[in-house]
Amino acid sequence: MHFGVKNPEKIFPKWSPHIELKKWYTIWLKIEINPEWRKKTIKAIKKSERIKAAKNIHLAFIE
């Protein structure tokens, strides 16, 4: 499933324990953000002014 949302790492875990956030990247720059990256790396990317666009999300549904 792919769609745009602002804060995927905060929103999807709240929805259901059966949803796994695989990866996401900004629509604007197409920088893929891996949830396994160091938090400092992800924070630095997010602080960029140009990355305040919606994100493209890749989700997996776990049974």
- Enumerate helices (H) and strands (E) in the chain, giving the number of each: 2, 4
- Quote the number of domains for the chain: 1
pLDDT at position 61, please? 65
Residue 37: the pLDDT is 79
The token duo for 33 is: 């953000």
pTM strictly above 0.85:
no
The pLDDT value given to residue 2: 43
Provide the residue range defining the domain that includes 10: 4-61
Q: What is the pLDDT of residues 6-55, one digit of tens each?
A: 666 666 666 677 777 767 666 555 567 777 878 877 777 666 645 455 55
The pairing of strands 4-5 and 19-26 is unpaired
